[in-house]
Structure 1
Amino acid sequence: MPRNVRIASVNVNGIRAAARNGMGTWLDAADVDILTLQEVRGEREHLEAALPGWRIVDDKALQKGRAGVAIASREECAISRVELGDDALESNGRWLEADFEIGGETVTVVSAYVFTGEAETPAKQDPKWAFLDAMERRLPELSADGALALVTGDLNVGHRTLDIKNWRGNVKKSGFLARERAYFDRFLGAAGEPVAGQEGVGRGMGGALSDTRSFSEGRTGLGWVDVGRAAHGEVHGPYTWWSMRGQAFDNDTGWRIDYHLASPALAARASNYRVDRAPSYDTRWSDHAPVIADYALGV
């Protein structure tokens, strides 16, 4: 029997704080079937306290109080995996896959939390490059043979100028570096087709040209679909993260860095995408907003 499965993703900025500040009220109203979480920064007991009655799989970071990803569901998870790349990759608490059998079909849901990075600081930026490299290798495996797969989470990259309000001030900063955005050109490029990359979109502060073409030379697209951009088209945002400082939230000076990336087969079944932006600054329970979409399964 076909059914729409509602999948939501959110960086909770600490599960205990999110639970104290109103996450449960939002979740009760959202009617979610599968919830992916990033930056849990807590133990299994904290997830269970915040999500009573949910089935939970999680992977925490090696360093206590950092990162952490989880997938909570009303459905029984068939199998979960945390492997991404080789043993040298720092992916603990940052990549979690879960397979669900729904309506006679298997769908793989991923909760991902990409490193924030820091430009010109190799100790912080190199792990991000390695993680994005591993994602580029894993995505074709997840989507092979028409598989249904969805990568959700805080991917810490604004792909285009439409995705960051103040992009000109960030062309030299991690999160909007041309090399970072070029990965998304390849993830989202037409499958098997050469990736042209984005030509210079203008000069930001300091005269830096935002151009991803050189990083995609000789590469081909993977065919994945940015469900949010497909739903909203060529508009600014809608943003998913705002700094807690200043008037960023009130002025909607945000970044769209939280995604639903769907395999081609699943993307065709997506509907009702939305960003659940809090109605006011004082009602926020995270610095990120949940990203939600419905997916038709068992068709």
Structure 2
Amino acid sequence: MKIATWNVNSIRTRQDHVCQWLTANPVDVLCLQETKVVDEQFPRSRFEDLGYHLYVSGQKSYNGVALFSRKPLEAVTVGFTGVLTPEEVGELDGQKRLITGILDGVRIINLYVPNGAEVGSEKYEYKLSWLKLLKEYVRSLLETQPHELCICGDFNIAPDDRDIHNPKNKDKHIMASPAERQALEEVLALGLGDAFRKFTQDGGHFSWWDYRHGGFSRNRGWRIDHHYLTPKLYEAATRCRIDVEPRKLEKPSDHAPVIVEFES
């Protein structure tokens, strides 16, 4: 099985890139973030023509997540509601940031963690609240259902200093502040492993590069797109890689796909 995650920064703008990539890389499941389109306007037919079943949860101009799967998925749901109570979720399902489905006994959770804008801002506090709820969501799934978990997407967090081209002043920088890293660590402490770090320990490997200041050409990037796996699935992983080729295209997404592979 191959599962890929990719923040495409607008599926309608990047649909040619995604079609080309899927033709060259026919993964079993593709998890997209920042689709930026309401469900009714999602460009479904081009991907269905490639043999994929589509499951989408979008909103106009912002956020949005989608699952493309070669085989139909089971138990597809969106948001935290349904696993957690409406009282626990509150307003945190207002933005379209989470979709999940089951394939061959693996629950794939595709998410787009809020960016947070600036340390100490309202959006930063929203991000921390969202991550706290994610922890309770994952805890509930682990306690109530038998499936292995692959939690993937754009986490908007670099887990450690190896994941930033220049960690100077990181404590004050969004995506690397201590509170964000701690919130992510608390999710992972439920029993999840970083698939990429199973195979690659050194730094300098990034999945996002700022459009400005020659970020990509100078490899001034961040590794903020991840696959986190429960123990049996972690052991079954045989490879995890970042494909930088789509970032070289004309008018690309600022993110690159990250692919994890498992033995049959």
TM-score (ref. length: structure 1): 0.79
The one-character-per-residue Cα deviations of 1:60-87 (angstroms, maximum 9, x if unpaired) are 13xx210000101011111111232513
Q: Could you tell me which residue of structure 2 aligns to residue 56 of structure 1?
A: 54
Tell me how far apart the structure 2 counterparts of residues 58 and 280 of structure 1 sit (CA, whole Å): 24
Q: Could you tell me which residue of structure 2 aligns to residue 218 of structure 1?
A: none
Q: Could you tell me which residue of structure 1 aligns to residue 174 of structure 2?
A: 174
Read off the aligned partner of 1:126 and give its amino acid letter.
E
Q: Which consecutive residues of structure 2, in runs of 5 or more, have no partner in the other structure?
A: 81-87
Q: Could you tell me which residue of structure 1 aligns to residue 12 of structure 2?
A: 16
2:200 counterpart of 1:232: yes
Instruction: Kindly state the Cα deviation for residue 237 of structure 1 after the two structures are TM-superposed.
Output: 3.9
Q: Specify whether residues 272 and 182 from structure 1 end up closer, same or farther in structure 2 by C-alpha distance, changes over 3 A only.
A: same
Q: Could you tell me which residue of structure 1 aligns to residue 37 of structure 2?
A: 42
Q: How does 1:210-229 map to 2 (within 5 A)?
A: 221-229=189-197
The one-character-per-residue Cα deviations of 1:177-233 (angstroms, maximum 9, x if unpaired) are 101011233333xxxxxxxxxxxxxxxxxxxxxxxxxxxxxxxx3120010111212
The residue matched to 1:175 in structure 2 has which SS? Answer: coil
Q: Could you tell me which residue of structure 1 aligns to residue 139 of structure 2?
A: 140
Tell me how far apart the structure 2 counterparts of residues 280 and 118 of structure 1 sit (CA, whole Å): 23
Q: Specify whether residues 177 and 37 from structure 1 end up closer, same or farther in structure 2 by C-alpha distance, changes over 3 A only.
A: same
TM-score (ref. length: structure 2): 0.89
Task: Flag the structure with larger Rg.
Answer: 1
Q: Could you tell me which residue of structure 1 aligns to residue 158 of structure 2?
A: 158
Instruction: Kindly state the Cα deviation for residue 90 of structure 1 after the two structures are TM-superposed.
Output: 4.0
Pick from 97, 102, 107: which aligns with 1:94? 97
Tell me how far apart the structure 2 counterparts of residues 88 and 49 of structure 1 sit (CA, whole Å): 33
Q: Specify whether residues 280 and 93 from structure 1 end up closer, same or farther in structure 2 by C-alpha distance, changes over 3 A only.
A: closer
Higher mean displacement: 49-58 or 27-36: 49-58
Q: Could you tell me which residue of structure 2 aligns to residue 290 of structure 1?
A: 257
Query: RMSD across aligned C-alpha pairs, in angstroms?
Result: 1.9
Q: Could you tell me which residue of structure 1 aligns to residue 84 of structure 2?
A: none
Tell me how far apart the structure 1 counterparts of residues 174 and 184 of structure 2 sit (CA, whole Å): 14
Q: Specify whether residues 56 and 171 from structure 1 end up closer, same or farther in structure 2 by C-alpha distance, changes over 3 A only.
A: same
Retained in 1: the 8 A contact 2:112–2:154?
yes
Read off the aligned partner of 2:57 and give its amino acid letter.
D
Retained in 2: the 8 A contact 1:56–1:73?
yes
Q: Could you tell me which residue of structure 2 aligns to residue 122 of structure 1?
A: 121
Read off the aligned partner of 2:243 and give its amino acid letter.
D
Tell me how far apart the structure 2 counterparts of residues 287 and 260 of structure 1 sit (CA, whole Å): 18
Q: Percent identity?
A: 28
The residue matched to 1:171 in structure 2 has which SS? Answer: helix
